Amino acid sequence: MLAILIVFLLPLVARAALYVAGDTPRSWRDADWSSTKTLPPASEEPGARLVVFTGTTGAWKGIFAVHSWIVFKPAGAKDWTRYDVVGWGRPVRMNNWAADGRWYGNMPVAIADLHGADAERVIPKVEQAIAAYPFNDYGDYRIWPGPNSNSFVAAVLRAVPELQVSLPSNAMGRDFRPGFYAGPTDSRTGVELNLWGLAGIKLAWVEGIEVNLLGLVAGIDLRHPGIKLPGYGRIGFGPGEAVALAR
């Protein structure tokens, strides 16, 4: 019980205190959703490109989690295409926000960024996975334990195993799977046991060692030495997940 308190609850208490003391937007109406200019206009990048973004979510949810989305353009496309999942209406949304927009005023981070032939090869698989996503009916969205926005992006990444990319450990909902699962991790670099995304354990090169308790994840990053704490994600040396570029 003491270990659970220290590892899983104290980090959240600290995050909650920072939220209360901070001046982050309390409502979506007050937040900045504008483009960060991270991506060039699609017309100025003739080749194919695919980017997976995450950004700290807003209001009280920012204590626990990030939001993730997928952006891509085939070669010659004049516009970026962005896919998110949201909690109202039909969950899967296309181009509701700027491709590289802030999320609740927070700067997004790219955890995967493919260019040229690599992107051209995986974009059709990404489109197929998005079309086949099974939780796209009214009422399917659930904040916890999922399926939510991170469950959606994680499902797409699983359908493209050559990416070898995993969402950050504080992307709550990324581990959601209906029922019991035993098999490869999302990056296909290790193994995991998982029960509905509510409890699980992973051992992998990309994911490291992770323990999931009620959707909160604690663990150790093996590839880039660091620790993973609920609410904070990875803390440690090197770039870690932030530049886990697929190759």
DSSP string, the chain: -HHHIIIIIHHHHHHHHHHHHS---SSGGGS---B-S-SPPGGG--S-EEEEEEEE--GGGGGT-EEEEEEEE-TT-SS-EEEEE-SSSSSEEESSS-TTB-BTTBPPEEEEEEEHHHHHHHHHHHHHHHHH-S--STT---SSSSSSHHHHHHHHHHT-GGG-----TT-TTTT--SSEEEEE-TTSSEEEEEETTTEEEEEETTTEEEEEETTEEEEEETTTTEEEETTTEEEESS-GGGG----
**Local confidence pLDDT in tens for the 247 residues of the chain:** 788 878 888 888 888 887 777 777 777 778 899 999 999 999 999 999 999 999 998 878 888 899 999 999 999 999 999 999 999 999 999 999 999 999 998 999 999 999 999 999 999 999 999 999 999 999 999 999 999 999 999 999 999 988 888 899 999 999 999 999 999 998 889 999 999 999 999 999 989 999 999 999 999 998 889 999 998 889 987 655 433 343 3
* Phi then psi dihedrals of residue 150, to 5 deg: -75, -30
pLDDT at residue 238 in the model: 66
Beta-carbon contacts of 128 under 8 Å, excluding residues fewer than 6 positions away, are 159
Enumerate the domain spans of the chain: 8-20+30-243
The overall pTM is greater than 0.75:
yes
Give the pLDDT score at 63.
86
pLDDT at 51: 96
pLDDT of residue 5: 79
Q: From edge to edge, which strands make up the β-sheet containing 180-184?
A: 180-184, 190-195, 199-204, 208-213, 216-221, 226-229, 233-236
